[in-house]
Amino acid sequence: MKISAKQYAQALLEIIEGKDDKAAKQSVLDFCSLLKSNNQLAQTEKIIYYFRKLYNKRYNIIEAEVLTKKALSAKLLTEVEAYLKALDKDSQVEISHKSSDKIIGGIVVKYGDKILDNSLKTRLRQLKTSLLK
C-alpha cells in the first residue's frame, strides 16, 4: 500500500513525541533513511509541509506572517501578537516578518489559512470599485 505524505508526517511527529533533542535528531535521521529505502525522497517537501501543520496543531502554535512596507516597530509587533493571542488563548504565536513595496502602505497579517488585509493597495482598489458603482 502506498503511504501518503501526510501519514509519513504523522508518523514522524509520533516518533519524536516526548524525546529530547538528541534522540529526536537521531529519529529524524532514521526517518530519512527509511524514506530513502522506500524510494520516497521526492515526497520530502510535502512531508515537511504536513509536518509543520501537524506540529503546530499539536503544540498550539500559530504561525503568522506580517507583511508591511517598512520594518515593523517593536510596539506594533507586540500589538499584532496580542491580537493573535486574543483569538486563541492557549496558543503560542510565532511571527515572521516580510516587507514589500507592492502593498504601498498598511499591514497584512496572515495566520493559518486566514488573512487580514489592511494594505493601502487593497483599500484603494475597494475605493475604486465603490466609486465606479
x-or-dash string of contact with other proteins, 1-40, rule CB under 8 A:
-----x----------------------------------
Q: Dump the DSSP string for 74-98.
A: HHHHHHHHHHHHHHSTT-EEEEEEE
Residue 103: all three cell numbers together: 502593498
Q: Does 85 bind other proteins (CB under 8 A)?
A: no
End-to-end alpha-carbon separation of the chain, Å? 56
Q: What distance in Å separates the CA atoms of residue 101 and residue 111, rounded to the nearest whole number?
A: 21
Residue 96: all three cell numbers together: 515572521
**Closer residue to other proteins (CB): 61 or 116:** 116
Q: Does 118 bind other proteins (CB under 8 A)?
A: yes
Shortest reach from residue 113's CB to other proteins, in Å:
4
Which positions lie near other proteins, rule CB under 8 A?
Answer: 6, 110, 112-118, 122-123, 126-127, 130-131
